[in-house]
Amino acid sequence: MSSDQIFVGLEIGTTKICVVVAEGRSEDQISILGVGETPSRGIRKGEIVDMATAAECVREAILDAEEKTNVEIGNVWVAISGGHLRSLNNRGIHVLPHPRQIEQEDLDQVQTNAKEIAIPPQNIFLHTILQSYHLDGNRNVIDPLESEGMQLEADFHIVHGMKTRIHNTLRCVESLKLEIEDVVLGSLASAQVVVTQHQKDLGVLVIDIGGGTTDYLIYQDGAVRHSGVLALGGDHITNDISVGLKLPIARAEALKIQEGTSTDPTESHGGVITVKNDPGFLGCEIDRRSLETIIHCRVREIFELIRDDISRNAGDLLGLLGAGVVVTGGTARLPGIAETASDVLDQTVQITTARNVGGPLQTFENPQYSTAIGLTKYARLVTRDLRPVSLMDRISKGFGGLFGRRER
């Protein structure tokens, strides 16, 4: 098997490190060969807070994936998340000295011009994702190359974040002698396998609720229009249960998984849940409605924050989603979460996992793997026609070298 047909996605999450190894089966299809994973340590809210400990966890997950797939891993695609990430839309304009055919250099220049915006001095560009081209006033030109014109314009969705936090992730991975092919916004990776092109064209909101962060992204007319990251996730629900019901974190997490639901507590049947004895912990009885109230309030808050951010930064885009909302990520398995999301966002909501991929059924049917699987699908799509660019070149240019194109 040719090594250039193997793609490895690495997600350094708050609760788990996940490594997906996939094989490119056709021009845009992948088949999962195996998954390596280990519980996270040294990670908080999607960001590295203990470099040595986090690196050891990544090493364990890589070794696990190598053992399960018999593939020696040397190159990875890495997901990036964290509450420090920000996004905006901007238009680049490039005026030619005289009418002539548009060349690749013109496309590169209009992308460079789009990034001539003020961002915090501690931030760097992560993605510059093409939305549409305009040539001499002609809107939504699909591909202006070799067309004749004089004024080229392009709209981009731009993502930026704190340089130190992004570089910490890179250093963690590179300390293990792994080569990073590129870094990808977590929600952008998940979207590659949880929604179809038809949904992107109609308009869809993708929400990935992980252990410590919630990543979300909106497509409209096939292009990314808005994205964001909340420093809230499944572990915040667990913490609220722990504090509210006076339980150890481990017992609170087990209670959430075994008995938890996001359903409106006013519809609860009530009752009592018996929490059994454990070494160092005396058993107790928990009021079911209290548990459901805590979970429902925290989950509802997550969707309210997403709704408010979209309304504040993307106008009425939420009301134009022809394909509604899809929710994925490990916390998507919480019963009742779709109903809570629908109530807050006033949209049809479905819980989804990776689609149109091959391999072990239990892998792509689990929403907690959506981001890591999506990384391999994204890698397959973008490596078909890329000219070689070093990672350091992409960093010096604010990444973006891979993303100056209409996003799939």
CATH number of the domain encompassing residue 261? 3.90.640.10
Residues 6+ away with beta carbon under 8 Å from 136: 149, 150, 151
Distance of alpha carbon 402 from alpha carbon 407, whole angstroms: 10
Centre a 10 Å sphere on the Cβ of residue 81 and count the other Cβ atoms it contains: 30
- Tell me which residue range forms the domain holding 118: 87-160
**H helix intervals, 158-220:** 163-174, 186-194, 197-202
Indicate if the alpha-carbon torsion angle 276, 281, 282, 287 is positive or negative: negative
Distance of alpha carbon 237 from alpha carbon 294, whole angstroms: 8
Q: What is each CA distance from 314 to 118, 126, 154, 218, 349, in whole angstroms? A: 19, 20, 18, 10, 20
Distance of alpha carbon 328 from alpha carbon 369, whole angstroms: 9
Report if residue 242 sits inside a domain: yes
Report if residue 10 sits inside a domain: no
Distance of alpha carbon 203 from alpha carbon 117, whole angstroms: 27
Centre a 10 Å sphere on the Cβ of residue 238 and count the other Cβ atoms it contains: 26
Q: Give the model's pLDDT for residue 402.
A: 38
Q: Give the model's pLDDT for residue 356.
A: 84
Distance of alpha carbon 220 from alpha carbon 206, whole angstroms: 11
Nearest Cα neighbor of 150 from 168, 137, 163, 133 is 137
Per the structure, how many domains does the chain have? 2
What CATH code is carried by the domain that includes residue 113?
3.30.1490.110
Residue type, 99: P
Q: Give the model's pLDDT for residue 405.
A: 41
- Report the side by side order of strands in the sheet with 223-230: 223-230, 214-220, 204-209, 325-328, 349-351
Which ranges of the chain have pLDDT less than 70?
1-4, 27, 361-364, 384-408
Distance of alpha carbon 163 from alpha carbon 120, whole angstroms: 10
Report if residue 320 sits inside a domain: no
Do the strands 204-209 and 214-220 form a parallel or antiparallel pair, or are they unpaired? antiparallel
Report if residue 309 sits inside a domain: no
Contact 78, 173 (CB under 8 A): yes
Tokens describing residue 340: 């809570």
Report if residue 399 sits inside a domain: no
Contact 158, 117 (CB under 8 A): yes
DSSP letters, 274-298, are: EEPPBTTB--EEEEHHHHHHHHHHH
Report if residue 28 sits inside a domain: no
Report if residue 244 sits inside a domain: yes
Q: Which of 139, 160, 181 represents a domain boundary (last residue)?
A: 160
DSSP letters, 249-280, are: HHHHHHHHHHH---S-GGG----EEEEPPBTT
Q: Give the model's pLDDT for residue 296.
A: 97
Report if residue 376 sits inside a domain: no
Q: What is the dihedral of CA 294, 299, 303, 309, to 10 degrees?
A: 70
Eight-class DSSP state of 110: H
Distance of alpha carbon 154 from alpha carbon 139, whole angstroms: 10
Q: Which of 132, 160, 188 represents a domain boundary (last residue)?
A: 160
Q: Give the model's pLDDT for residue 231.
A: 94
Q: Which of 104, 136, 160 represents a domain boundary (last residue)?
A: 160
Q: Give the model's pLDDT for residue 4.
A: 58
Dump pLDDT digits (tens) for 49-83: 999 999 999 999 999 999 999 999 999 999 999 99
Distance of alpha carbon 368 from alpha carbon 286, whole angstroms: 28
